[in-house]
Chain A
């Protein structure tokens, strides 16, 4: 029936000490009925080591759906009963498979416009995106919309899978025309790599093996291309950043600033700075449970012990002393509105950065992206699935980078202060240094809080965190009552 298992089991051995070449996160997106689930199902069916019982289940349930002509590969993806009933994908599904050399994580995202926010959410995790189009219809509004979102959330590599070539007479002309449209579209964005591949997901043509029907296509098939993409994380890029998650202690001797290196690397003896407090120290130890490290690099979870006990807690970002992040209270950003409740200028919101949570004094929408024309239109409202340019003024400064400089410290969530929902996700385009400058704002000072609300708190890390929390909540309450607040802690 099908050419099974391009990757043979014996190639996977020797078993447990086999180390895969990193992890590649792969997003699939496209309009409804372009055959996304089928394409990924096909990739799993042909190139991964699916279990026998999973193959049987597909074979069994397919007979009804497809008249037995071929297995219904999409059944490997649509997991929820509601999705199967409606035959659509509502939310992202995560799939994992290994080829001989590579761990693939497939993030299958919904095609429906009304679930664009879920697509954006999935895209933010991807290293590469496969955009699907139907060979008979070519590049559409939804393709443009998705390209814009991929660009915003930082996906640098895209593949256009021109699907259903079998229904387009395997026509080279049709493919070349679509490829040209795609090229024009991608030139508008900052992608590092964009290629188009003609495929038939149902037949498996150019998915995990070369198609006999399209001898005119000489490029790589999909799997071949994906296996060639360098894994995330080979070389540490950018300046050192460690957002501090928590402080770990061991008696009096050890105070470890625990976190995951967001970018760059750090060695024992290096000088690090906390931009928020302006304090610096040298790295004395890079500690983990297994052993101390000489060097910690991007992606590693560690605890740094410094030679001077500087006052650093969750929310701080440790950086190389000569290239700190910006301490900013005014941000410009691009954001996707994720929640059903539209933006409300009178609601209370928090800004969630890498590990910090700061109250927002003012949030304003300046423009929306028109997804038809990709032009920017002035606006002051945003609702679900909108892509907006926004201005943010914070109640106190936070340490951030612009997203182009540093993905890990340049992205944020906007959180509704009352419901706790993540209402928007975005990337910082401009971070302006300096404190809150509104002269008419109410000054919520450390002294004021220590005198009353926080009188019961001492000087431990936990109490300091609680102090921050109360200060934020107090600022929000004041803000909700219509008072501009400036936090001075």
Chain B
């Protein structure tokens, strides 16, 4: 008789179950692929769920145009290696208006360059379900999320109108205009994600590993300068420092941490021993009290 299932085995099986339920119940799903470690795990689980077929849905990347160059390269390689369909969508209107992450507040920037284009892309292609890598352990309003997160027409999230979820029965019946965000990683923690990446030997964006990178310190946060678009303030001179990232977003809004962990084992070791939570380096979360909750109500995933 084989050994009992480990907690990672149980999490993996649960995610596969969720993927299969969503694919069976929704008309036209899409996987929101944001290139980071959670997306990497999400995509790997999707491949397992439908193997030997390819996942029966395309990937959607909302490109703010401020992603690290390494991220875009990794995205394109992943899509090529696994033979997947990728849709890239940018809010051209926002781009024209010059909405950028340094002149505008994180909440305005996120709304215009992330939330709005996500809604535009879902509407344009008629997707009724979007898989996302959000985890309940990330943030307190996410701790309340359903696995099938119901959104009224117009993509609104109302925590009081969510459908109860009992046992493992998932209800995907939708009316016109209604959509669902599906979260197969709901019950994973950041540590599980890294343990799983190590166990499954998954490739991740090299930015997760320490290397010498040009950095500046702004508002107490360590930023890596990825190109010359960010106007340097007086006295700011990029310094080469050995840093890495715990979470990856738009480069002017994502802080790096000093680190020498340059391979997977040491990154995992460092993550499991970390003293601060993962999203501390995400400037968009700390803009105002209940920032994530508000963004979700407006349609952010």
Comparing B57-65, B157-165, B213-221, the segment that makes contact with chain A is: B157-165
Kindly report which residue of chain B lies nearest to residue A425, judged by CB atoms.
B166
Indicate if the CB atoms of B51 and A411 lie closer than 8 Å: no
Indicate if the CB atoms of A91 and B275 lie closer than 8 Å: no
Contact partner of B277 (CB less than 8 A), chosen from A22, A54, A105, A301, is A54
Any B CB within 8 A of the CB of A121? yes
- Which residues on B sit within 8 Å (CB–CB) of A93? 140, 143-144
Q: With A and B bound together, what is the CA distance between A98 and B24 in angstroms?
A: 33
Indicate if the CB atoms of A411 and B293 lie closer than 8 Å: no
Binary flags per residue of A287-307, CB closer than 8 Å to B gives 1, else 0: 111100011010111010000
CB of B49, distance to nearest CB on chain A (Å): 7
Any B CB within 8 A of the CB of A325? no
Any B CB within 8 A of the CB of A280? no
- Which residues on B sit within 8 Å (CB–CB) of A53? 276-277, 280
Binary flags per residue of B132-163, CB closer than 8 Å to A gives 1, else 0: 00001101111111000000000000011011
Any B CB within 8 A of the CB of A314? yes
Indicate if the CB atoms of B53 and A249 lie closer than 8 Å: yes
Contact partner of B7 (CB less than 8 A), chosen from A20, A301, A355, is A20
Indicate if the CB atoms of A125 and B141 lie closer than 8 Å: no
Contact partner of A248 (CB less than 8 A), chosen from B52, B159, B187, B276, is B52
Binary flags per residue of A395-431, CB closer than 8 Å to B gives 1, else 0: 0000000000001100111010011111001000000
Q: With A and B bound together, what is the CA distance between A54 and B48 in angstroms?
A: 35
Indicate if the CB atoms of A15 and B268 lie closer than 8 Å: yes
Contact A153:B174 (CB < 8 A) given known A23-B10, A105-B187: no
Comparing A166-174, A252-260, A450-458, the segment that makes contact with chain B is: A252-260
- Which residues on A sit within 8 Å (CB–CB) of B136? 94, 96
Indicate if the CB atoms of B169 and A94 lie closer than 8 Å: no
Any A CB within 8 A of the CB of B96? no
Binary flags per residue of A238-269, CB closer than 8 Å to B gives 1, else 0: 00000001101110001010111000000000
Q: With A and B bound together, what is the CA distance between A53 and B282 in angstroms?
A: 13
- Which residues on B sit within 8 Å (CB–CB) of A352? 169, 171
- Which residues on A sit within 8 Å (CB–CB) of B52? 248-250, 254, 256, 287, 289
Indicate if the CB atoms of A92 and B144 lie closer than 8 Å: yes
Kindly report which residue of chain B lies nearest to residue A102, judged by CB atoms.
B7
Any A CB within 8 A of the CB of B20? yes
Indicate if the CB atoms of B167 and A233 lie closer than 8 Å: no
Indicate if the CB atoms of B144 and A20 lie closer than 8 Å: no
Any B CB within 8 A of the CB of A221? no
Interface residues of A in 26-75 (CB under 8 A from B): 51-54
CB of A287, distance to nearest CB on chain B (Å): 8
CB of A448, distance to nearest CB on chain B (Å): 25
Any B CB within 8 A of the CB of A479? no
Any A CB within 8 A of the CB of B273? yes
Q: With A and B bound together, what is the CA distance between A245 and B26 in angstroms?
A: 13
- Which residues on B sit within 8 Å (CB–CB) of A91? 144, 159-160, 162
CB of B264, distance to nearest CB on chain A (Å): 9
Indicate if the CB atoms of B189 and A96 lie closer than 8 Å: yes
- Which residues on A sit within 8 Å (CB–CB) of B168? 408
Indicate if the CB atoms of A103 and B7 lie closer than 8 Å: yes
Any A CB within 8 A of the CB of B203? no
Contact partner of A245 (CB less than 8 A), chosen from B24, B141, B272, is B24
Contact A19:B7 (CB < 8 A) given known A246-B23, A314-B24, A413-B166: yes
A contact face: mostly helix, strand, loop, or mixed: mixed
Contact partner of B273 (CB less than 8 A), chosen from A9, A250, A254, is A9
CB of B263, distance to nearest CB on chain A (Å): 12
Indicate if the CB atoms of A51 and B274 lie closer than 8 Å: yes
Contact partner of A233 (CB less than 8 A), chosen from B4, B17, B159, B277, is B4
Q: With A and B bound together, what is the CA distance between A23 and B10 in angstroms?
A: 8
CB of B32, distance to nearest CB on chain A (Å): 21
- Which residues on A sit within 8 Å (CB–CB) of B8? 19
Interface residues of A in 96-126 (CB under 8 A from B): 96, 98, 103, 105, 117-118, 120-121, 124-125
Q: With A and B bound together, what is the CA distance between A287 and B53 in angstroms?
A: 12
Any B CB within 8 A of the CB of A80? yes
Contact A51:B24 (CB < 8 A) given known A233-B5, A420-B171, A425-B164: no
Any A CB within 8 A of the CB of B173? yes
Any B CB within 8 A of the CB of A81? yes
Q: With A and B bound together, what is the CA distance between A350 and B186 in angstroms?
A: 27
Contact A299:B10 (CB < 8 A) given known A92-B144, A124-B166, A413-B169: yes
Binary flags per residue of B1-20, CB closer than 8 Å to A gives 1, else 0: 11011111111110011001
Q: With A and B bound together, what is the CA distance between A79 and B138 in angstroms?
A: 11
Contact A81:B293 (CB < 8 A) given known A53-B276, A425-B169: yes
Q: With A and B bound together, what is the CA distance between A203 and B174 in angstroms?
A: 48
- Which residues on B sit within 8 Å (CB–CB) of A355? 21, 24
- Which residues on A sit within 8 Å (CB–CB) of B11? 23
Sorted nearest first, the 4 A-B pairs with minimum C-beta distance are A79-B140, A420-B173, A425-B166, A250-B52
Selected A-B contacts with CB under 8 Å, 24 pairs:
A13-B272, A15-B273, A16-B198, A17-B195, A53-B276, A78-B140, A81-B290, A94-B145, A96-B187, A98-B189, A121-B164, A125-B167, A246-B23, A248-B52, A248-B53, A287-B51, A297-B5, A301-B12, A301-B49, A354-B169, A355-B21, A415-B171, A418-B175, A420-B174
Spell out A's residues near B (CB within 8 Å).
9, 12-13, 15-23, 51-54, 78-82, 90-96, 98, 103, 105, 117-118, 120-121, 124-125, 153, 231, 233-234, 245-246, 248-250, 254, 256, 258-260, 287-290, 294-295, 297, 299-301, 303, 314, 338, 350, 352-355, 407-408, 411-413, 415, 418-422, 425, 465
Q: Known A-B contacts: A13-B272, A17-B195, A81-B289. Give 12 more (CB < 8 A).
A: A22-B6, A22-B7, A79-B143, A79-B144, A80-B293, A91-B162, A96-B189, A246-B20, A355-B24, A420-B173, A420-B174, A425-B169
